[in-house]
């Protein structure tokens, strides 16, 4: 029935256009002769009208006039009308060369009339829709303001104006710090001021909702806006990242409430896909710790490059089950090998190496919780050092070509057992890189990732959901943060850059105060810090530092060809000393007997 109605509408529009074509040509001739048309020209006009209608309607049909929704007509559609009218009139003129021409001036008059009539009919549809369509529901429309009058803001305004009735939303204008845009009209909306004027504009215009359309703005700017909007009691929404904006992927579905990930968002990672594909596509790739936050994301992104085989290894059976189930549905053409193994069991890992012969290894398996590892230091050493040593040694024995170890900023000047174990593996890996000519070993060091299992963000969300309090260890505590996909993209890129022995350090941006993070998350939950949700300081836990470092004082980083990946210098350690210290550690843990 809907198809039938659509056909009737199309025929109706074509009939109207046919009448407009007749009117334009007739008026063109009548105006040319000041309403006194000689009989010769009248005969020619009558003979040309039907062919003119057929030629012009055929042209309009070919240009998709009757498949378009004209109530959303924009400048692009008006340009299409101009081209179609010109071609249709040109076709009519060529036909009249054989059947009998009208005065040339009448064609020019008809061209202007057709532009006016055909274009005007489409604009009228849009105007009628604007004034006659009634919004669904009742009550006052919510007033909205867009912060950012750039490309993203314009795209958002255009999208929201298309659906303003169903949204019951009234856009009142833009806020932008660009002085050249002040008091300008963009998409029919005024630029009402800069960020400094936001508070006054919100109060004066009684704004209900603020849409932040600055996908590449720094954390400090977004934090300032979120804090101000929270104080003003207005709802905050945001747009996708800059990559989606550039791809034109802005719609009502992509507008969403601001989340903490949006505040820490940076420019997208630039990946050398050709280089990445060269060392992953068509290869057998092993990911240890594949059930964890970083490991599972590594599997997702590696699967997209189409390896020949993806071996997913973890001692957590639930984690392996979930990632294997997910990738089976998303990447069914990739051979997946889910394995429940413990890297501390050298014999078990060796069987995996011998059977599958991986060419690339991403080693993400590790215990990572700082206070917990202080209480379980022996297990931290067994898993993080001995387990890693198993994977590193077996990789060289079984022909692995490239090995990437996931390290942490806590390995720099470590104050915790967890950090010390990671630093020990970095040192051992560099030692191995110097002695092995068949495998490229490298490590990637970065800070905290948002949303990982056990992360502070998940803890804060849980505490806010329970009504508080939100617990912060110290008012001066700060950390580096990345989103999980962002960190993994850089890890894969760093793996492609490795030549042997590098400790790659990722650009984490500016460190974030944890107490600010807590306040922002409370505000984004629609609550007010200290009034609705209390913030309590609990004191530093064992092994924690107030701030983390990406390089130690003795390290002078060097640049790579990727602007967000750096290299910490090689660790100058005597290999015999390293072996002696590791041997002593194993003896202390009962993993090796003394001589």
* Catalytic residue IDs: 410
Structure tokens at 185: 């009209």
Structure tokens at 492: 């894969």
Task: Say how far apart CA 223 and CA 264 lie, in whole Å.
Answer: 9
Contacts of 525 (CB under 8 A, 6+ apart): 464, 533
Question: First-to-last CA distance in the chain?
Answer: 89
Q: Are 482 and 508 in contact (CB under 8 A)?
A: yes
Task: Say how far apart CA 31 and CA 333 lie, in whole Å.
Answer: 69
Q: Are 314 and 289 in contact (CB under 8 A)?
A: yes
Go through 120-158 and write b for each residue having 16 or more CB atoms within 10 A of its CB, e for each that does not.
eebeebbeeeeeeeeeeeeeeeebbbbbbbbebbbbbbe
Task: Say how far apart CA 170 and CA 231 lie, in whole Å.
Answer: 22
Q: Sign of torsion, CA 430 432 435 436?
A: negative
Place of tokens 């198809």: 3
Count CA atoms within 13 Å of residue 15 on its CB side: 6
Q: How many residues does the chain have?
A: 595
Closest C-alpha to 289, from 313, 264, 260 = 313
Closest C-alpha to 363, from 427, 307, 311, 306 = 311
- DSSP letter string over 220-272? HHHHHHHHHHHHHT-EEEE---HHHHHTT---TTT-EE--HHHHT--SPPP--
Structure tokens at 8: 């009737």
Task: Say how far apart CA 26 and CA 33 lie, in whole Å.
Answer: 11
Contacts of 299 (CB under 8 A, 6+ apart): 287, 290, 310, 312, 323, 327
Structure tokens at 159: 């999208």
């Amino acid at each position: 029935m809907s198809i039938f109605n659509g056909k009737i509408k199309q025929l109706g529009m074509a009939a109207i256009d046919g009448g407009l074509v007749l009117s334009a040509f007739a008026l063109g001739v009548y105006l040319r002769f000041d309403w006194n048309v000689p009989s010769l020209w009248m005969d020619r006009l009558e003979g040309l009208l039907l062919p003119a209608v057929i030629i012009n309607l055929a042209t309009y049909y070919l240009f998709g006039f009757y498949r378009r929704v004209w109530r959303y007509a924009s400048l692009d559609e008006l340009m299409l009308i101009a081209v179609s009218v010109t071609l249709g009139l040109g076709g009519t003129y060529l036909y009249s060369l054989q059947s009998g021409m009208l005065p040339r001036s009448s064609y020019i008059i008809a061209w202007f009339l057709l532009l006016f009539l055909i274009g005007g009919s489409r604009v009228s549809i849009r105007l009628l829709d604007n004034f006659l369509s009634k919004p669904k529901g009742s009550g006052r429309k919510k007033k909205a303001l867009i912060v950012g009058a750039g490309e993203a803001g314009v795209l958002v305004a255009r999208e929201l104006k298309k659906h303003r009735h169903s949204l019951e939303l009234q856009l009142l204008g833009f806020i932008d710090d660009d002085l050249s845009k002040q008091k300008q009209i963009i998409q029919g909306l005024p630029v009402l001021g800069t960020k400094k004027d936001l508070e006054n504009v919100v109060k004066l215009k009684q704004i209900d909702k603020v849409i932040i359309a600055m996908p590449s703005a720094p954390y400090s700017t977004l934090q300032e806006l979120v804090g101000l909007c929270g104080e003003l009691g207005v709802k905050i929404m945001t747009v996708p990242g800059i990559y989606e904006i550039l791809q034109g992927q802005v719609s009502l579905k992509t507008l969403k409430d601001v989340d903490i990930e949006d505040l820490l968002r940076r420019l997208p990672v630039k990946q050398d896909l050709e280089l990445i594909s060269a060392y992953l596509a068509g290869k057998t790739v092993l990911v240890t710790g594949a059930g964890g936050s970083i490991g599972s994301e590594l599997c997702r992104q590696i699967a997209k490059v189409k390896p020949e085989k993806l071996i997913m290894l973890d001692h957590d059976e639930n984690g392996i089950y979930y990632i294997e189930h997910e990738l089976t549905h998303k990447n069914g053409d990739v051979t997946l090998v889910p394995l429940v193994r413990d890297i501390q069991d050298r014999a078990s890992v060796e069987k995996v190496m011998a059977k599958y012969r991986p060419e690339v290894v991403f080693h993400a398996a590790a215990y990572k919780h700082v206070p917990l590892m202080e209480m379980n230091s022996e297990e931290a050493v067994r898993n993080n050092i001995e387990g890693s040593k198993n994977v590193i040694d077996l990789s060289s024995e079984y022909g692995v070509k490239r090995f990437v170890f996931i390290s942490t900023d806590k390995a720099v000047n470590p104050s915790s057992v967890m950090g010390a174990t990671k630093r020990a593996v970095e040192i051992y890996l560099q030692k191995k890189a110097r002695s092995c000519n068949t495998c490229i070993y490298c490590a990637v060091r970065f800070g905290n990732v948002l949303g990982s299992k056990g992360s502070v963000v998940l803890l804060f969300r849980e505490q806010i959901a329970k009504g508080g309090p939100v617990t912060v260890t110290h008012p001066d505590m700060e950390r580096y943060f990345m989103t999980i996909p962002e960190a993994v993209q850089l890890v894969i890129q760093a793996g492609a850059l490795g030549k042997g022995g590098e400790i790659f350090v990722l650009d984490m941006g500016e460190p974030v105060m944890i107490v600010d993070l807590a306040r922002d998350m409370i505000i984004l939950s629609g609550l007010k810090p200290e009034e609705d949700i209390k913030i309590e300081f609990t004191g530093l836990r064992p092994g924690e530092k107030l701030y983390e470092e990406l390089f130690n004082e003795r390290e002078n980083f060097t640049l790579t060809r990727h602007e967000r990946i750096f290299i910490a210098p090689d660790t100058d350690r005597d290999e015999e000393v390293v072996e002696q210290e590791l041997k002593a550690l194993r003896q202390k843990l009962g993993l090796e007997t003394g001589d």
